Structure 1
């Protein structure tokens, strides 16, 4: 993955949330909620060239369940200088399996509770406690993709976590239909904890108006003001769909990716967070520290 053709982001930037979908080599799980199109490493290289990206964190998508084969293949090809991974495990995953994931470059374990927007407190609490216990021996982070309601239900567990906690997609903060910002105070409260990190990823997901929603710049700036040293940036490439269209389509039909102008999105994001040192902190230094990349 070379031939970088543009430099939109600072040199050494790390995209902390990309997915690889390669159904021709790695079959999707039978019980998946949707069927994405293919987006393999060659496609990732083309995307990376639009921004000048050279380092990535591969995150296990739900369509592969607990089979991390595609993620491990991506880590092997890109190598330890350029990539890390966040895997998904299940009860069948042994301690030796986790050690093997760690040796391959995995630095986090993911809990995706986004499909349970009303909370499901008991299930989320049990799953989170189990995942923390399994992550602790190797110091792996636990990454949460949850609604603000679900996060509120496990706030005490997050506060006492023995491992780093990473909150996906703005930590569950959203813009309601009436324009009210929901969950931002909670995210800032989480950031006051010494072990919690937030991914500033996929601003287009947190409001019906997409990244153009007028509330989003103020959300970003509030988080930067709160803890710029605990924020990381992510594209969420290749931009899976979701929402009502996914429900209408059904899990078997191929779901198109969102059409996102990545260079424009990132350029706008950089204007929100401010120039120079803050951009380097969020896109380079913070993720390198969190995911334990070698010094650049």
Structure 2
């Protein structure tokens, strides 16, 4: 939820600065130049900000602790990629506290939108404030921490829809294909847009015939769900180009190009704490070349008109950019 800390952020909206702790952040920057024309108004639809923990404390119930990633680093990333707009998503490490996300949004101004994490204690007044500040959806995380039981996922999804339907927000899910299959009837009947992160949890090595992928494609084809073709390195182990993710992306785009958006997943957090480490130990960020990642988009979508839908038109509609 928005906290009293977030109410203080207005004083720094005009000029976000890094302190000595933030300066040690190690978030990746593109090493490869973009090799195709990026249309005006392009949007990176999946990023996170990891602020100074003295100002933005991590959630006690988190399952990992990431390195820091600042708004300045994010701006440098998008300058290198020729990306104008951004969607900042509250990661699980903050629980229902969206202050760090708001911090990043304020640094970017009108070119940013946010996706919040809330719980049943988040009051409607906080949602009112979030809407005014550019939040346009809530994220339901059914992946990090291992929520795989449909008897848990179904009521959580239904409760999320109820919280946002009067506002016209969307519900974003980080989950698995098996969970998508288990809730597909609820998604098909949802009165609000539904957005699946990171290829819907599909694994590139298993191909387009893997269990549950057909259900995801069906929801996209019918217009009942959006999918972020984001974080290809989460679906594929064949870096740095993640070639085996191409059939997944191509199948989703072919199903309905009007329901596909793209994102980096910057700063690429590793959400798995090694067995010999404590949750409070810092887990290094993945070092992903986002230039090379973005250069896969013409492979997945050769037509410039389709890429414009994915990078510009669909984000404008989903997130309310003008």
The CA distance in 2 between the partners of 1:215 and 1:47, in whole Å, is 25
Q: Tell whether 2:149 aligns with 1:120.
A: yes
Whether the aligned pair in 2 keeps the contact of 1:14 and 1:53 (CA below 8 Å) is: yes
The residue aligned with 1:20 is: 49
The CA distance in 2 between the partners of 1:231 and 1:246, in whole Å, is 33
Cα deviation per residue 1:168-205 (whole Å; 9 max; x = unaligned)?
11122213479964532121111133331111101110
What is the correspondence of 1:87-126 to structure 2 with a 5 Å cutoff?
87-115=116-144, 119-126=148-155
The CA distance in 1 between the partners of 2:128 and 2:50, in whole Å, is 24
The residue aligned with 1:72 is: 102
Q: 1:251/1:278 Cα in 2 relative to 1: closer, same or farther (>3 Å)?
A: same
The residue aligned with 1:279 is: 307
Cα deviation per residue 1:16-45 (whole Å; 9 max; x = unaligned)?
000000024211111111110110101111
The residue aligned with 1:198 is: 227
Cα deviation per residue 1:234-289 (whole Å; 9 max; x = unaligned)?
0000011134x644433111111111111111112222211311111100111111
**SS of aligned partner of 1:186:** helix
Candidates 151, 155, 172, aligned match of 2:201: 172
**SS of aligned partner of 1:154:** helix
Q: Tell whether 2:73 aligns with 1:47.
A: no
Between Structure 1 and Structure 2, how many residues are aligned?
Answer: 289
Q: 1:277/1:266 Cα in 2 relative to 1: closer, same or farther (>3 Å)?
A: same
Q: 1:213/1:268 Cα in 2 relative to 1: closer, same or farther (>3 Å)?
A: closer
Q: CA RMSD, aligned part only? A: 2.2
**SS of aligned partner of 1:107:** strand
Runs of 4+ displaced beyond 6 Å: 177-180
Unpaired runs of 5+ residues, structure 2, are: 1-14, 16-29
The residue aligned with 2:184 is: 155
Q: Tell whether 2:268 aligns with 1:239.
A: yes
Using the TM superposition, give the Cα deviation of residue 211 of structure 1 relative to its aligned residue in structure 2, in angstroms. 5.9
Candidates 133, 146, 164, aligned match of 1:135: 164
TM-score between the two structures when normalised by the length of structure 2: 0.84
Q: Tell whether 2:88 aligns with 1:58.
A: yes
More deviation, 263-272/285-294: 263-272
